[in-house]
Amino acid sequence: MSDSKTHEDTRSEPQSLRLRSIGVSLTVDDLEASVRWYRDVLGFTVVDEWEDEGQPVGVALIAGAARLILSRDDGVKGWNRVKGQGLRLYLNTAQDVDRIAENIVARGGTLESEPTDMPWGSREFSLVDPDGFQLSVSSGG
């Protein structure tokens, strides 16, 4: 029998938070345009939609294990507020990043930066959604 402790034995109490996934919810100006962009340009799949008094107010989309909620801005915090500042979504995939970028451009999307090998070992590119939310798509690293 060894005196070495396992990782489980050395965790402090209370144990730290260990998540299996994270979802993101974005408030958007034009829900229909944002759904088209995430679905038709990026390649997400719509899995649920919500209405309030017959008007669309939210959509759930997935891409692999990632879940994204888009909610129509209700104006409560002001109609002219800027969205997307100070936030970047990092989307990691095992797929070919260059091919994903090519497909996005072929479907009418615009890249903010072309696929590039990064110093930390990933290959990534970036783009901006219709509301100014920044996204980086990467593989590896």
Output the pLDDT for position 3.
Answer: 55
Q: Say which residue, 68 or 1, is predicted with more confidence.
A: 68
In a domain, 116, yes or no: yes
In a domain, 13, yes or no: no
Which is nearest to 136 in space by CA: 89, 76, 85? 89
Output the pLDDT for position 76.
Answer: 82
In a domain, 16, yes or no: no
| Residue 6: pLDDT over 70 | no
The number of distinct structural domains making up the chain is 1
In a domain, 8, yes or no: no
Residue numbers of the domain that contains 123: 22-75+83-140
pTM, two decimals, is 0.83
| Whether the Cβ atoms of residue 27 and residue 84 lie closer than 8 Å to each other | no
The C-alpha atoms of residue 47 and residue 45 are separated, in whole angstroms, by 6
Domain at 117, CATH number: 3.10.180.10
| Residue 5: pLDDT over 60 | no
In a domain, 12, yes or no: no
Q: What is the pLDDT of residues 11-69, one digit of tens each?
A: 677 888 887 778 899 999 999 999 999 999 999 999 999 999 999 999 999 999 899 99
In a domain, 69, yes or no: yes
